Each structure stands twice: as structure tokens, then as C-alpha cells.
Amino acid sequence: MTRELTCIGCPMGCELTVEVENGEAVSVSGNTCKVGENYAKTEVSAPVRTVTTTAHGEGGIPVPVKTAQNIPKDKIFEVVKEIKSIRVKLPVSVGTVILTDAAGTGVDIVATKNVE
Amino acid sequence: MFDVTVIGAGSSGCAVARELSRFDISLCVVDKESDVCEGTTKANSAIVHAGFDALPGTLKAKLNVRGSKLMPGLSKLLDFDYKRNGALVLCFDKEQISGLEELALRGAENGVEGVRVISGDEARQMEPALTDEVVAALYAPTSGIVCPFGMTIAFAENAAANGAEFRLSTAVTGIERSDAGYVIHTDKGDIETRTVINAAGVYADKLHAMVSGLPMNITPRRGEYMLLDREAGGLVSHTVFQQPTKMGKGILVTPTVHGNLLLGPTAEDIDDKENTATTRAGLAEVRAKASLSVKGIPFGKVITGFTGLRAVGDTHDFIIGECEDAKGFIDVAGIESPGLTSAPAIGEYVRDIVASLLPLKEKANYIAERKGITKFASLSDGEKNELIRREPAYGTVVCRCETVTAGEILEAINRPLGATTLDGVKRRTRAGMGRCQAGFCSPVTISLIADKLGLGLLDVRKNGSYTDKESGADENA
Amino acid sequence: MREFDLVIIGGGPAGMAAALAAKLEDIDNLIIFERGDELGGILNQCIHNGFGLHTFGEELTGPEYAERYIEQMILNNIPYELGTMVLGMNENKEISIISRERGAETVKARAVILAMGCRERPRGALGIAGFRPQGIYTAGTAQKLVNCMGVVPGREVVILGSGDIGLIMARRMTLEGAKVRAVVELMPYSSGLKRNIVQCLDDYGIPLMLSHTVVDIKGKEKLEGVWVAAVDERNTPIPGTEEYFPCDTLLLSCGLIPENELSKSAGVELSPLTNGPSVDESLQTGIAGVFACGNVLHVHDLVDFVSEEARRAGLNAADYIKCGTTPECEPVEVRPGNGVRYTVPSRIYCECAEDKVHIRFRVTGVFKGAAIVVKSGGRELFRKRGRIFVPSEMQDIIITRDKLGGVDSPIEVSVEEALK
């Protein structure tokens, strides 16, 4: 089976052609770098994303956060739900872990901004 | 029990209220909207007409000319923006020049000063952007421009300062006669009053019908406009009309008192008294017809479009007077153009009618003057510093397009009859009126309103009334 | 009157990178005026990732990217004043500012870097008919409400315009629990990056309706829904194709305009093509000592390019402050040719230019298998073939000094289309 993908690895957005057998990529073309190849391989087998959102800080102040690594794409809503369920103590600085092992993904959630 | 209740807080209603607030009577103003000037007054050409257009002998002619004469003094006394910029009425067809001459004669008969017919070239000398198709023009030096919100809010605040009670977000549902006069039923309870002034704009016929069997029909006439960035405001300095037709004064091109360029209105009679939507066809018509008058209109600098509804009566004249079959019920209806100009004169005219019904004794402690909201941008550096030292909120510019500070926005919210919505703040301070149309300032303005009125950020409205739940009124009850 | 060697107007990514570059060139008497209450500008509300691949070699979110520069500001003792709005500037580089702390003040600068960024095109500029109810926001305003104030303005959303902010907000609103019914785009192509269509729309099953537009707005006080119609080749709605989408929120992502009211007040000449100042290859405007960079100059799609451009503006402003010389040679005009919408710079001092001259531009449509060609008179100065050129991606080419020697007729940048 052949799948056409657009690489999201960087703003270039290379158009990738992936030959897939048994849910695994056997060849990737159209990419201009290694990022594209890796993206294609994961995307056809177990797609992942970095998620960015805001958590509730004290006093209703939003705290921008992200997943420290990629998480499985189908876990996005679960992870966001768990982020929204906690209240972040302020002040918080960039890189502070505000939630560990979000929704059982093994990935931590970190603040992306200094919020006082 | 009020002596007088004015229904409708537009320019006519507020002008009447202000005039009557000079006297020792109890006075109430009711409006279904959450702010004053929410109807016809908020969306019109903002022109102070010289008075050459109305037929001699009509109420329109009389009140227009009087209103135009009162305007300069009132704008100083009540601190609202007005400018005498002069007007040109363009003629595109040699055959039609006689029409201009007729207008000039009419103007003279109405008592308008300085009206004269000039050649196309003379007109182009005055306004270089006029198109080559202009063959002649009528020049009216006393024509002016005004801020309709500024004027109406000034009337309302002045009336309130002199004791008039404003009941906003209060819709009249019925009117009944009583021994003393009338009981006005509203969605917020009954109001007892000796006399009623019906200044309800496009709804004046509905209110009239609540007490009178005599026919009255008010047709909403839709007028669509385009407003351009202040960068385009210098394209013309005079108000540029086209020769009038029976549907009105045609599409005009005019600077506004705040330096924008305004194009419009279309004229289309409709049934729906709430239909203030713009249409593709209407906006296209404005574009096409404005281009007949003025060349090089930078349509890329349009910042907003809007629609107003003029309240057009069947008589082609203002309908002002006590109902023949309803004593003490005074109609102020069919106030189409030149209604805004006439407003101060309508106030005087209605005062005289009321005087025939109630004793009007002048108040000893009447406050004649009213001071508007600080215009920070127009102050000198020294004055700015003085103000910021006293109140640091003036040091924060919230609206960058119009340079409006947090101090001014707080003034707008805190004043008597203060703003409760984004539109209310906008009309009082111009925050959000500029080229980015509130994109930049609205989050901050929302915070300021929420903070002052005790609302959640999400509950702050652009327009309209707060329910009890939103405003937290039920918790306080 | 306070006097500075260098005043930088705006403390966003452009202002910070420019300040840093100038400071590293030993310009110590400098200051950044920032109207917000923190440095970082628009990055503070761009909480999504995708920033910094070029500059830092890793993917950062907007606030993280800003933080890297803010650290540099502090480390290098670069002074900045927050909550400070610049109200005007004249041709003598006298700048009037206002803040809560210092009140109204006029300061003088030897050199100025304009780094005020851009703003969004409002509804009125789009001429959408209908009512004017609550619930219509530019995408950036909604972004600020959601990300900085914790206010999600609606539950059912239609987005007009497929600019990057619109696409990002489609995902953002979805993650906040709203239903995004469609992203409607007038053009036959998206004006946003392809990766954003994949990860913001496709991932969430949000339809992208190309060659469609909003033709009417329902709801007098609060938005109730919008009518969407297909458009023909001339972008005119096709009668009979209207479709109604109930929604309480309409977001507009229909283009950004460089914010140049200040530049104009100072008499800086603007380019009608970019709406930003017309500059030479050193990013100097028509007024000696006044430079421009970032989105105030032309709208960028990548912050990394903003930082790089601002760094050059900072270096060149430092040079101007130290040497104060204006080029002795005559500038040569740079103009857009076939398939090119604008160029920055719009003039190059070919005989006095630096070793590498950047020309940045955008193409007017989608070009596959085409080449970018730069010519002066009959002489070809540059050629680059590309698989695909799209309007959403700013092009950045570098012409070396040796190619520019002796060039004296206008330089034209064009797209040489592939043979059909």
C-alpha cells in the first residue's frame, strides 16, 4: 500500500510517499532530510504528536505547557483532560514539570513560560 | 409617579429629556436597550444639515435650521465633538442645475445663510478629489458634522445630572390610561406617569397604537455605510452630497468629526425593524455611487460597514405633537433625516408642548454644563504628566489606533449612565473604533469592564443587556 | 531630554534580536520600549511549538523562544522599559513615549530600529455582509483570550481564512473543547503552512473549504451562524452554493498588516506592496539612521527569519552609530517581476553592499518545478530551481557581493515557470 503524507517535521512540509507493508514503512521518498523519513515511519505505524495547551494556574491565570516528548496521537485528548484537571502553583518557570506520566503515556508535562 | 416619561433614549428622546430636566418636574427615560443611542442614532451620516433641503413651512425645515444654529453653542456647553465643515451638493448633469438653484432658493427661504450655486471647477478647487463629471454644485457653508454618540450621551448625562431617572434595559410592553395619566407596563414593572413622550424611533408607531386609534405607520428605511481609516479622512474636507431624490439625500462622502471618511447611505424601505445587517448589494452600491462623486476613494482602507434604520413616517414630515385622542401622550415620530440636526430644536419644541400640559418652573440648581470624558491624546505633555501622576491608569494606552488610555475607559465605565459593554466603551472613548476594530484593545477593555462591574471575563458583552445571572444581581438580591 | 544612541521600538522577537546584535557591537547606550508588560511580544500568546529550528536547532514553543532571548537581554544588561507606548516620532528621531511610571516624555535617538510588528486585518476590510454581533474575533484576539486570559470565547466555531494563526486556533479551540465546523478559505490554496494543515486540521477532522467564503452573518446581538458559499475564479460568490453553519464564534484569519503608523508619523516612506517601510539592503529606511525589521517591515511566517533579519538591522544600526556614513554609491532599484509580489529590500547599494545581500520575497501563486531568477538588465545574478514555491512561504535568497559589482540597472526578481 502507498500512502501520501505531508511531513510536519519543519515548516518546509515535504510531500512524502511511503510504501507500507503490514503497518510498517518499507520505503520513504520525497523527504529532504532524515526527519522526514523518521516522521513517515512513525506516522504509518504509531503516529505521535507534541501537544501544547494551557493548564489552570492559581487565580485563573493560564500556564502554557507542553508534553516534554511526543505522545501517541490517540492520547491527545486524554492528556489534555488530565492537564486541565490540575491546578498549577505559581510562580512557575520554563521547564518545570507540572504533571508526570500524563495519562499513562510516560511523558511529563512541562511549563513553557515563566508565570508569576 | 413621574410628571414626564420619555420612551426612547435616542437623540430625540435624550434631547427632550435634557430640555425638560431644566424644570422642577420628575422625569424618567425608558429604553429597551442597555445604553442610550442604540437605535437610529447610532448609525447615520452624523451630519448637521444646513437646512436647504426641507420644504419651507414644514416642521423639518423649522427644526433643522434651529437645530443647526443651536449646535455650535451646545457642543461647547456639553463638550461633544462638532465641526462646521460646509457641504457641497453635486450636480452631474447640466439639465439638472435648475434643481440646485431651486435648493438654493429653498435654503434662503428656510433662513439658511450663505447657500449658493457654484461651477464644477469652483467645486473642484474647493475639493480637488471631486470627479470630472461634476458640472455644478450647491455650496452650503453652515453644514457641519457631529459625533452622534457624543451628542446623545452628553444630552443624557446632562439630563441625569439634573435629576432625570434613566431606566435602561427596560422594554415597554403596553401602555394604559390611568386617572393621573398613564401606566406604562414594562418587563421590569410598571411606571406611572402624568405624560408620555413617544420617542421610540422605528417603534414609535407601535407605542402610538397602544393609546391611540389614529393611524401612524413608521417604515424602517435601511441605509448601509462604509467607514474608512483615518488615513483616508483627508480625501475630502466638506460633506459631499449628490442631488437629492425622493428616497433621500443620496450617497454622501464626508469626513467625520474624528477624521475618518464615511460613505453612504443606501435607501431601502424594509419591514423588519431590527434588520441592521449589511448586504453585499448594499455595500457594492455605496462603493459605486460614492465613486461618482469622489475619485480615488481608497476602498482598501475600509475598516467597517454598518447599517442604520431611519424612522420614516407617512407624512414626509416629523410627527411631533400631542395625540388628538390621547391627552398627555406626545408623539415624537418619523424623525428621519434631518433628525439628528433637529434634536436640540425638537427638545425645545416638545418643551413647549409639555408646558401647555404641566406647569414648568425652572430649577434653581440647574446644571447647564457637562464635561465629557478626558481626551488624553489631545492634551499637552505637561497635562498628560499631571494626569498620570494623579491617576496612573492614564499612563497605559489600551487602544493604540485611537490612543485611548485605561484612565479614559475607566471614566467611561464609572460615569453616571456609564458604559457596561464593549460597544458602550467604544462610543464613549473611541477605544476599538479605529483601524484594527478592537482586535488589540478588546481583551484589555473586557478585563476593565469585568473588574469594574464584577462580571466574569466571559460574561462581558459586546452589546445588549446582562441577564441577572451574568451580572450577579440575583446573588445580591 | 533623555538621549540614546539607539532606540528600539518594540520588545518582541525582532526588537530583542536587534538589541542583542547592537549591544554585542558595543552599543551600550540603547533602550527597548515595549508597550506590553513583558518582553516577547506576540510570542507570548503563541504557545504552540514550531519555533526555533533554525535559530536554536530545536523545536520550541513561542514563550520558550522568547525566554531564550529574554535571558540574553538580562545577561547582556540590555535596558528595556515595559508598559511604554511610543505615541509618535519625528524625522529628527525625537520619540514621544508614555508609561505609568514615567508619564509622557520625549526622548532623542541617534538611530532607531522599528520593530513594532503587525496587526490583523479586521472584518470591515473583508467586506463581509450581515449583522455585527458578539462572537466575531480576529484569530489573534481569540488566541490572546484563550492563551493569556484563560477565556475560551465560544463552543461552535467557523474560521474564515487559513492563515497560520487561523489553523493554529482551529486546533487550539478543539483542544479547549470547542467544535470547529470548518476553515473557510477564499483562495484555491491555503495561506498557512502545510504542516499546520496536517497537524491542526487533518488530525482533528476539521474540513478545509478552499475557494469558499463567508457571505452573510446571522444574529443581531450574539452570533448565531454564518452562510458560506463557493466562489468563482474572480472570487465572487456563486449563487446557489450557500451553506449555513450554526456557530457562536467566527474567527478571522485573513492576513496581517505591518503596523506603520509611527513610521508614517516620522515621514518614513512605505512600500505599497508590503505596507512596510521601503528599505535598502542594510534594512535602512528612507530616513538615515532609521532601520526596520521583522513583521513591521514585511510579514514573516517564521520567527527564526525575523530574528535573523533583526540581527542584521542591529548590526547595521551599530555601524551607522559608529561611522554615521551613508553609502557613497547610487542605489539600484529592486523590483518584483513575474510571479513575485514584493521584494525586501527595494533598493541595493550594489557598490557598497556587504558580502552577502539577502533578498526576501513572496510568490504570487503556487509554482511547481519553477526557478527563481534575479536579473539586472540582461545579466543574470542568481538562479535557483525549486520543487514548489507557495505564497505562504517567504523566500530568502542570498546574492554574493561579487555578483553585484557594476550592476547599475534595476534588479528584477521573478519566477521562471516550468514549461507546460
pLDDT tens per residue across span C61-119: 999 999 999 999 999 999 999 999 999 999 999 999 999 999 999 999 999 999 999 99
Q: Which pLDDT tens digit goes with each residue over B366-413?
A: 999 999 999 999 999 999 999 999 999 999 999 999 999 999 999 999
Residues near C8 by Cβ (< 8 Å), separated by ≥ 6? C15, C18, C19, C22, C30, C31, C32, C33, C112, C113, C115
Contacting residues of C for A56, CB less than 8 Å apart: 150
Mean pLDDT for the stretch of residues B420-424:
96
Label residue B477 by pLDDT band (50, 70, 90): very low
Residue carrying the nine cell digits 425593524: B273
CB contact under 8 A, B443 and C87: no
pLDDT at B473 (0 to 100): 44
pLDDT at A11 (0 to 100): 75
Flag whether residue A80 sits within 8 Å of chain C, measured between CB atoms.
Answer: yes
Residues near B53 by Cβ (< 8 Å), separated by ≥ 6? B64, B103, B106, B244, B249, B338
CB contact under 8 A, B443 and C96: no
Name residue C159's amino acid: I
CB contact under 8 A, C195 and A6: yes
Q: CA angle, corner B318, sides to B312 and B321, nearest 5?
A: 125
pLDDT at B247 (0 to 100): 62
Flag whether residue C163 sits within 8 Å of chain A, measured between CB atoms.
Answer: no
Give dist(CA B469, CA B278) in Å, integer. 32
pLDDT at B250 (0 to 100): 80
Name residue B344's amino acid: P
Under a CB-based contact definition with an 8 Å cutoff, are residues C305 and C283 in contact? no
- When CB atoms are compared, the residue of A6, A64, A76 closest to C47 is A64
pLDDT at B476 (0 to 100): 37
Q: From 3.50.50.60, 3.40.50.300, 3.40.50.720, 3.20.10.10, which CATH number describes the C122-254 domain? A: 3.50.50.60
Q: Provide, rounded to the nearest whole percent, the portion of chain B with pLDDT above 70.
A: 97
In B62-115 the beta strands, taken as DSSP E runs, fall at: 82-84, 87-91
pLDDT at B468 (0 to 100): 67
| Model confidence at C392: pLDDT above 90 | no
Give dist(CA C258, CA C115) in Å, integer. 10
**Coil vs helix vs strand at A20:** strand
- When CB atoms are compared, the residue of C150, C194, C197 closest to A54 is C150
Contacting residues of C for B400, CB less than 8 Å apart: 35, 85, 261
DSSP state of B189: E
Nearest chain C Cα to A8, which residue?
Answer: C195
Residues near B457 by Cβ (< 8 Å), separated by ≥ 6? B446, B447, B450, C145, C149, C150, C151
Task: Tell me phi and psi for residue C107, to 5 degrees.
Answer: -120, 160
CB contact under 8 A, A112 and C63: yes
CB contact under 8 A, C98 and B462: no
Mean pLDDT for the stretch of residues B174-198:
97
CB contact under 8 A, C122 and B439: yes
C partners (3+ CB pairs within 8 A) are A, B
Contacting residues of A for C48, CB less than 8 Å apart: 52
Contacting residues of A for C176, CB less than 8 Å apart: 53
| Model confidence at C327: pLDDT above 80 | no
Average pLDDT over all residues of chain B: 95
- Quote ipTM for the complex: 0.95
Flag whether residue B439 sits within 8 Å of chain C, measured between CB atoms.
Answer: yes
Flag whether residue C374 sits within 8 Å of chain A, measured between CB atoms.
Answer: no
Contacting residues of C for A55, CB less than 8 Å apart: none
Contacting residues of C for A3, CB less than 8 Å apart: none
Q: Is B49 designated active site?
A: yes
B partners (3+ CB pairs within 8 A) are C
- Sheet containing strand C156-160, edge to edge, reads C136-138, C249-252, C156-160, C179-184, C208-209
CATH 3.50.50.60 range(s) for chain C read: 1-120+256-326, 122-254
Give dist(CA B290, CA B255) in Å, integer. 13
CB contact under 8 A, A50 and C175: no
**How far apart are the two ends of chain A, measured CA to CA in Å?**
52
Contacting residues of A for C50, CB less than 8 Å apart: 11
Q: Give the distance from residue C67's alpha carbon to the nearest chain A alpha carbon, in angstroms.
A: 7
CATH architecture of the domain with range C1-120+256-326: 3-Layer(bba) Sandwich (3.50)
CB contact under 8 A, C106 and B462: no
CB contact under 8 A, C47 and A10: no
- When CB atoms are compared, the residue of B227, B280, B395 closest to C98 is B395
Q: Look at strands A109-111 and A62-67 and give their pairing.
A: antiparallel
Residue of B49, B208, B238, B258 marked catalytic: B49
Mutate to test the interface with C, among A3, A6, A48 (most CBs of C within 10 A): A6
Nearest Cα neighbor of B48 from B81, B10, B13 is: B81
| Model confidence at C21: pLDDT above 80 | yes
Nearest chain C Cα to A56, which residue?
Answer: C150
| Model confidence at B248: pLDDT above 70 | no
Fold classified for A52-111: CPE0013-like fold (3.10.530)
Flag whether residue A13 sits within 8 Å of chain C, measured between CB atoms.
Answer: yes
Flag whether residue C150 sits within 8 Å of chain A, measured between CB atoms.
Answer: yes
pLDDT at B246 (0 to 100): 66
Q: Provide, rounded to the nearest whole percent, the portion of chain B with pLDDT above 90.
A: 94
CB contact under 8 A, C175 and A76: yes
CB contact under 8 A, A11 and C146: no
The torsion angle over the Cα atoms of residues B433, B437, B441 and B447, rounded to 10 degrees, is 90
CATH 3.10.530 range(s) for chain A read: 52-111
Count of B-C CB contacts under 8 Å: 123
pLDDT at C266 (0 to 100): 94
Q: Which pLDDT tens digit goes with each residue over B42-92?
A: 999 999 999 999 999 999 999 999 999 999 999 999 999 999 999 999 999
Contacting residues of B for C105, CB less than 8 Å apart: 381
pLDDT at B474 (0 to 100): 40
